[in-house]
A and B are shown apart, each in its own frame.
Chain A
Amino acid sequence: MNIFLHKAAAAISFEDVIKEFEQPLYWHIRRMVVDHDDASDVLQETFIRIYKGLDSLRDRDALRGWVYKIATNESLRHLSRKREMTLSEGSAALMDRLESSPGVDLSDGTALRFQKALLSLSPQQRTVFSLRYYDDLSYEEIAEVTGSTVNTLKVAYHNAKEKIKNAILA
């Protein structure tokens, strides 16, 4: 009986996942790829993968980390396909795009500088900072996304924050 209850509690429909995560994932992807059209494509690809893998997800508590992991991987795959990012450093191409993309409000200088500083980070630091700062994921959840240890992530987040502060104040 308990098993059945547990299974019922753990079951989650695709529609529920869409409702809960479509906007947070869109913004997470948008911060990674910058361009709105690219973010839309990556979001759709992310949800196709979520749909295909949802039945195999056993632990309901792991859902958040799991969907962010798919979104992050799809974003990085998209960027590497477009050759807009190396694995070790931030992307000048993405920073340029931030200023030239039609879906960016250039009038808010502070927010713009903040995003530029974020884009100057390495993909790992950017992912950690974005998931922690904007999406409020726990370090344990981010560890699921990135495959890093909690201590490594804490250091990466601290360093990312310092770099962003310095960039804003510069």
Chain B
Amino acid sequence: MEQSFEKIGKKMPYTVPDGYFEQMHERLSAIPRRQRRVVTLRWVSIAAAFVLVASAGFFALRQKPQVNTMADVVQSLSDEELASWLEFNDNDVFLALMEE
């Protein structure tokens, strides 16, 4: 029984292309360089995302809410609207009471 193992030994039917192990050695030796690049790119991505979010936040906070002044409102009204508005204010009971 042991004879069959001894006869075969560690022989395998597998083959590899010519020069495969030399090429593989080069590729494996490049892993540290590639991994450093991956780590660097990851940090650059994180930094870029942070800058983007911070900028968006900064501009959002800087933007003041638009408040219309009375002059803007008056300017946007047509002559008829202005006349009826003035008339309404003249007839305002509370204003009249306040004037008294």
Contact = CB atoms under 8 A, between A and B. Distances in A.
Interface of A: 14-15, 18, 22-23, 26-27, 30-31, 36, 40, 43-44, 47-48, 51-52, 98, 103-106, 108, 110-112, 114-115, 133-134, 161, 165, 168-169
B62 interface: no
Nearest to A109: B13
B42 to A, nearest CB: 13
Interface of B: 1, 4-5, 7-8, 10-17, 21, 24-25, 27-29, 31-32, 35
Contacts of A168: 4, 8
Contacts of B31: 14, 44, 47-48, 51
Nearest to A106: B13
Given A22-B24, A36-B16, A134 B11 contact: no
Contacts of A15: 29
A23 B11 contact: no
B12 A44 contact: no
Contacts of A51: 31-32, 35
Contacts of B8: 110-111, 114, 168
Contact of A26 (B4, B5, B11, B24): B24
A169 B5 CA distance: 11
8 contacts: A36-B14, A44-B27, A44-B31, A48-B31, A103-B17, A112-B13, A114-B11, A169-B1
Contacts of B4: 165, 168-169
Contacts of B28: 18, 22, 43-44, 47
Given A18-B29, A22-B28, A165-B1, A134 B14 contact: no
A14 B32 contact: yes
Given A110-B8, A111-B8, A134-B10, A104 B27 contact: no
